[in-house]
Amino acid sequence: DTGVSQNPRHKITKRGQNVTFRCDPISEHNRLYWYRQTLGQGPEFLTYFQNEAQLEKSRLLSDRFSAERPKGSFSTLEIQRTEQGDSAMYLCASSLALADWTDTQYFGPGTRLTVL
Amino acid sequence: SQELEQSPQSLIVQEGKNLTINCTSSKTLYGLYWYKQKYGEGLIFLMMLQKGGEEKSHEKITAKLDEKKQQSSLHITASQPSHAGIYLCGNAGGTSYGKLTFGQGTILTVHP
């Protein structure tokens, strides 16, 4: 299967702990996105990578959040000192962007985070 | 208020019925995407519309873009239980990359 994969699928943690999620995009895709989705809402943009460069971060992404994409392949999203408000589904998407911005994003299955 | 408003928020239909989901934007629609999501899972790409008046179909699902009204509609013909899920519209926003802004979603239930 060559789709976007995310690990873990579920994560339960206690408030104040650090967590890290991993996303493996479709191979050859140069763009990678992170979104967050809470119950009853559509996904909200968090950050975006073009190859290994992180080019935009949403204001939703506080200082406790950090994302990396070393070597332009897989990406990690780390949340430090988790809070109950961080509980959500974290979605990763990748796309192959060529000449313009109308690239189709393909989403992974998501990581559901529960902060107790 | 949200940039993208979807209506209805939820929909319950009997198998075999036709249905329409609407997506209205408060901003210009540069690239309008439709996705389907099963509860607790990721998004599945359905269609992308870019030009005013554009219409695309995939199996029994048809999407249209009315650029002047900044609206898009998703029509399902002869619905089946497999169509059940959450339908989301997303706007590319006209940036140099494809960051998507999503509506809140429409929950579709199809009774056999």
- Residue A15, min C-alpha distance to chain B (Å): 22
Closest residue of chain B to A109, computed from CA coordinates: B42
- In angstroms, the first-to-last Cα distance of chain A is 34
Mean pLDDT, rounded, of chain A? 92
Using alpha carbons, select from A86, A24, A95, A84 the residue that is nearest to residue A61.
A86
Q: What are phi and psi of B58, to 5 degrees?
A: -145, 115
Cis peptide before A25 (omega within 30 of 0): no
Q: Which of B4, B100, B104 sits opposite A105 (nearest CB)?
A: B100
- Residue B43, min C-alpha distance to chain A (Å): 6
Measured between beta carbons, the chain B residues lying within 8 angstroms of A104 are 33, 45, 48
CB of B8 less than 8 A from some CB of A: no
With a cut of 90, say whether residue A32 has pLDDT above it.
Answer: yes
Distance CA A88, CA B64 (A): 31
pLDDT for A100 equals 59
Q: Which of A4, A40, A110 sits opposite B104 (nearest CB)?
A: A40
Average pLDDT rounded to a whole number, residues B13-21:
97
Residue type, B108: L
Say yes or no for a CB contact (<8 Å) between B98 and A44. Answer: no
- Residue B41, min C-alpha distance to chain A (Å): 5
Say yes or no for a CB contact (<8 Å) between A105 and B102. Answer: no
Average pLDDT rounded to a whole number, residues A69-92:
95
Say yes or no for a CB contact (<8 Å) between A42 and B102. Answer: yes
B41-82 pLDDT, tens digit per residue, is: 999 999 999 888 899 998 999 999 987 878 999 999 999 999
Contact between B32 and B76 (Cβ < 8 Å) = no
pLDDT for B82 equals 95
Query: B91 Cβ partners below 8 Å, 6+ apart?
Result: B3, B4, B25, B27, B29, B30, B31, B32, B33, B100, B101
pLDDT for A2 equals 80
